[in-house]
Homo-oligomer: A and B are copies of this chain.
């Protein structure tokens, strides 16, 4: 931490529909990019680096993303929160701004993350959920999913549920919560809590559970993917719009 500089923890939510994901990319509108640009204005034009707890894909939403920014911010936390609320666009909103300890790291300090995948089971598909849930109009057998999700809990190598492009070597993570629950009339959601998630892991889990719900794969397939570490045995990657970074615990 350089002199006059401090670390901020920013809790935020966003509608991911119109973002090319979290991570900064030249020429694209990303959450990290928008945050860095706006925070730069609050640091006297100095370039600000922001890191996030989860690098959400394009179209993925967040109800409880946590970002860390370091810079020479002259305002106190409350004033920064106020200014940030005014500067940020309506699809990304700060929930809390607090000064963090110098060793706080949005990703490495996280004890667990919870991702949620929402499904709209109504016949016609709700017009109010089309950005926020995957429409599954028929063939969703909840009891089949329930027999599958319980197999996810525990310490496993998640290679079989990871994108082939994933460069992370150690793919062992511990899933502490995996379940299906109703969340609104006509809507259900998968809830996954783990000490870490690999590239596309939550979406591949959702895609596999959907194949199981529709009867195309058996509930035991989940265990086979874990055991074999074979991506080909899992279902397809579910669309981004149903996925939410719900919460990060420290």
Interface SS, A side:
loop
> Which residue of chain B is the closest to A94 with respect to CB atoms?
B124
Q: B124 to A128, Cβ gap below 8 A?
A: no
Minimum C-beta distance from A135 to chain B (A) = 9
Minimum C-beta distance from A8 to chain B (A) = 16
Q: Which of A61, A91, A127, A128 has the most CB of B within 10 A?
A: A127
Counting chain A residues whose Cβ lies within 8 A of the other chain, the interface size class is: 10 to 19
Q: A127 to B15, Cβ gap below 8 A?
A: yes
> Which residue of chain B is the closest to A12 with respect to CB atoms?
B124
Minimum C-beta distance from A185 to chain B (A) = 11
Bound-complex Cα distance A61 to B91 (A):
20
Contacts of A132 in B (CB 8 A): 128
Chain A, range 1-33, C-beta contacts under 8 Å to B: 13-15
Bound-complex Cα distance A85 to B135 (A):
13
> Which residue of chain B is the closest to A90 with respect to CB atoms?
B130
Q: B125 to A93, Cβ gap below 8 A?
A: yes
Bound-complex Cα distance A85 to B94 (A):
38
A109 at the binding interface (Cβ < 8 Å): no
Chain A, range 108-136, C-beta contacts under 8 Å to B: 123-128, 130, 132
Bound-complex Cα distance A123 to B90 (A):
12
Bound-complex Cα distance A90 to B126 (A):
8
A95 at the binding interface (Cβ < 8 Å): yes
A92 at the binding interface (Cβ < 8 Å): yes
Contacts of A95 in B (CB 8 A): 124
Q: A126 to B13, Cβ gap below 8 A?
A: yes
0/1 string, A73-117, CB within 8 A of B gives 1: 000000000000100001111110000000000000000000000
Minimum C-beta distance from A69 to chain B (A) = 17
Contacts of A15 in B (CB 8 A): 127-128, 130
Cross-chain pairs A/B with CB under 8 angstroms, 25 sampled: A13-B124, A13-B126, A13-B127, A13-B128, A14-B127, A15-B127, A15-B128, A15-B130, A61-B128, A85-B123, A85-B124, A85-B125, A90-B125, A90-B127, A90-B130, A91-B127, A91-B130, A92-B127, A93-B124, A93-B125, A93-B126, A93-B127, A94-B124, A95-B124, A128-B132
Chain A positions within 8 Å of B, measured between CB atoms, are: 13-15, 61, 85, 90-95, 123-128, 130, 132
